[in-house]
Structure 1
Amino acid sequence: MDNLELIAKQLKAVSDPNRLKLLACLKKGEVCACDFVDVLKISQPAVSQQLKKLKEAGIIAERSAGTWKHYRLNNSLPLYIQAIIDELEEISIIKCDCC
């Protein structure tokens, strides 16, 4: 994938309100996938699809812990993506007890 294609993929990934909410939650650190369901008010499979798009764009990283996946912002983000994330107001989430 060349640089322009990557930029386009990343900008497309952050152009969705639900994905922006996910990024706002991740500003405070790692989050379990199950915790996003209450924030977005959508099903777990729908949350997974939104997370997949952000992961494929290289914006977030995942870590498996048993049956659950935990997500965090990538350590090295392009400045244009970091600027968008910086503009988002942090969303506090209530952590579940599943993991």
Structure 2
Amino acid sequence: MNESEVVELYKASQIFKLLGDKTRLTMMKLLQTHDCCVCEFVEIFKMSQPAISQHLRKLRDVGLVKEERRGQWIFYSINNEHEDYPFVQSILNHLPEQNGLVVELEEQGLRISCN
């Protein structure tokens, strides 16, 4: 491991603190394979839109996720250009897939409810 692959302890602790929340951790795992909008997260987590937005804001503020406007909707994705993305990816790679949550949304006809 070279110097550029080492994450400072403070930064690592901040990332662990953010990902220590089960909802944010699950969001990140979902975003590893799917772009999602707030309305989809509302359905997946059965939480209010403001609560979901607050979780996403915390992830966005540190640059772990990015947003892209598509029409009137904002879609979120993992920022794989973030300097600590390899560290985050290594954490996410140790977690079980969450694709079933997206498949469930698709089966309920809610996957593209915001388009």
Please give the range of the TM-score, normalised by the shorter of the 2 chains.
Answer: 0.7 to 0.9
The answer to whether the 8 Å contact 1:10/1:59 transfers is: no
Cα distance in 2, alignment partners of residues 96 and 29 from structure 1: 12
Matches within 5 A, 1:10-89: 10-77=15-82, 78=84, 79-89=86-96
Kindly state the Cα deviation for residue 68 of structure 1 after the two structures are TM-superposed. 1.5
Give the gaps of 5 or more residues in structure 2.
Answer: 1-7, 106-110
C-alpha separation in 2, matches of 1:72 and 1:6: 21
Deviation at 1:38, TM superposition (A): 1.7
Question: Alpha-carbon deviation of 1:81?
Answer: 1.4
1:72 deviation in Å? 0.5
Q: Which has the higher contact order (CA 8 A, sep 6+)?
A: 1
Q: How many residues are matched?
A: 97
Cα RMSD over matched residues?
1.8
What is the alpha-carbon distance in structure 2 between the residues aligned to residue 10 and residue 89 of structure 1? 19
Report the TM-score, using the length of structure 1 for normalisation: 0.82
The CA deviation string for residues 3-42 of structure 1, in whole angstroms up to 9 with x for no partner, is 6654443222111000011012112131122111121111
How far is 1:69 from its partner? 1.0
Partners in 2 of 1:26 and 1:14 — Cα distance? 13
Structure 1 residue runs of 5 or longer lacking an equivalent are none
The percentage of aligned residue pairs carrying the same residue is 33
